[in-house]
Amino acid sequence: MTIASITAEIDAATTSAVSLVAEAADLVALEEVRREVLGKRSVVAKIKVSIKSLPAQDRPEAGRLLSLYSESIEEALTARQAQLGGIEVSGVSVPDLSLGSHGLERGHLHLVTQVRRQLEDIFVGLGYKIAEGPEVEDDWHNFEALNIPPAHPARSMQDTLYVDLGAEEQFMLRTHTSPVQIRTMENQEPPIYVVAPGRTYRNETLDARHSPIFHQMECLAIDKNLTMADLFGTIETFARQLFDDDTVQTRFRSDFFPYTEPSAELAVSCVFCSGVGCRVCSHTGWIELGGCGMVDPAVLSAVGIDPEKWQGFAFGFGLERIAMIRYGIDEIRTFYDNDLRFLAQY
């Protein structure tokens, strides 16, 4: 390497870079050119390294030539960028406002909120109202009125987080959204058609499928002459709308919940493999969503509704589970980590 050969190389690099810049057809191509002519793998980057092997008195001149190169290429890039990204108005280049801003990015709703709102829309479309209840619940609403008396083994199905409010009565973070059924029936005359979405809590250790906080949606219908056919039809309609697929099948298998009689576990045919079996449905062809059944007469009596006159059905399911199925998310914890790299994808 001599100063003469370096000068010649920089000259050649300048000519080639200037024509590459001029040829770039759009902003994406221009970025590509920027990398090529100024980046780590560019000719000048190599020249920069070889400066060390020049005689000491030639090094400042080589450095000067290199910065001249960078300056002139930067200038050419900026000019070309203005040409590509701007529009000419009577010979003056003005910014193209349709390009959008480079400042704040627009946020969006959390995935669980998106799922909740979509479900609310479906049920409102079916004539339901949205109901709410407190997250700190008393024993009556979370358990007793739901036909789960103290010391009933069904209590141990739910790992409850009790809250010490200093009162004699026991309070807890609600373990499900079912207490909203009770609160609604205490405050409204039938017929009742409500869905109650919300946060629920259990004494769980965080792992791939469990979280001490999660979300559920409860559905309650009380009317005259409601039967299990109404329950099945409602679930099928909502599942088909939710997964936007008219071929979704439903499956009900006998189960036990103290507040419904008969009770069933509810599952839908896997929307990914149409029931053939795949990773999402653990090769069973079915996806379990939650529980359901006909409201137990004891529950109606507990809230002063005559079970001889009124019947109803209820079901409940988890919201995270629906989002996990829909987007193939493996870990429930990713919903609460608040890592924008995850949340921004949905």
Closest CA to 268 of 315, 329, 310, 302: 315
Residue type, 79: A
Report the C-alpha gap between 218 and 197 in whole angstroms: 6
Whether omega before 149 lies within 30 degrees of 0, making that bond cis, reads no
Which lies closer to ligand DAH via its Cβ, residue 214 or residue 243?
Answer: 214
Query: In the bound complex, what is the minimum distance in angstroms from residue 177's beta carbon to ligand DAH?
Result: 7
CA angle, 189 then 191 then 192, to 5°: 85
Query: In the bound complex, what is the minimum distance in angstroms from residue 191's beta carbon to ligand DAH?
Result: 17
Which lies closer to ligand DAH via its Cβ, residue 54 or residue 314?
Answer: 314
Which lies closer to ligand DAH via its Cβ, residue 14 or residue 211?
Answer: 211
Which lies closer to ligand DAH via its Cβ, residue 54 or residue 266?
Answer: 266
Query: In the bound complex, what is the minimum distance in angstroms from residue 181's beta carbon to ligand DAH?
Result: 7
H helices, E strands: number in the chain: 11, 12
Residue in the block written with tokens 């137990």: 296
Query: In the bound complex, what is the minimum distance in angstroms from residue 196's beta carbon to ligand DAH?
Result: 10
Query: In the bound complex, what is the minimum distance in angstroms from residue 192's beta carbon to ligand DAH?
Result: 13
Residue 317's H or E segment, with its range, is strand 311-318
Binding site for ligand DAH (CB under 6 A): 176, 178, 218, 257, 260, 290-293, 314-316
CA angle, 269 then 272 then 274, to 5°: 45
User: How many CB atoms are closer than 10 A to CB 291?
Assistant: 20
Which lies closer to ligand DAH via its Cβ, residue 65 or residue 148?
Answer: 148
Which lies closer to ligand DAH via its Cβ, residue 275 or residue 316?
Answer: 316
Which lies closer to ligand DAH via its Cβ, residue 259 or residue 335?
Answer: 259
Closest CA to 280 of 324, 240, 333, 343: 324
Query: In the bound complex, what is the minimum distance in angstroms from residue 259's beta carbon to ligand DAH?
Result: 6
Residue in the block written with tokens 């409010």: 165
Query: In the bound complex, what is the minimum distance in angstroms from residue 262's beta carbon to ligand DAH?
Result: 10
3-state SS string for 94-114:
EECHHHCCCCCCCCCCCHHHH
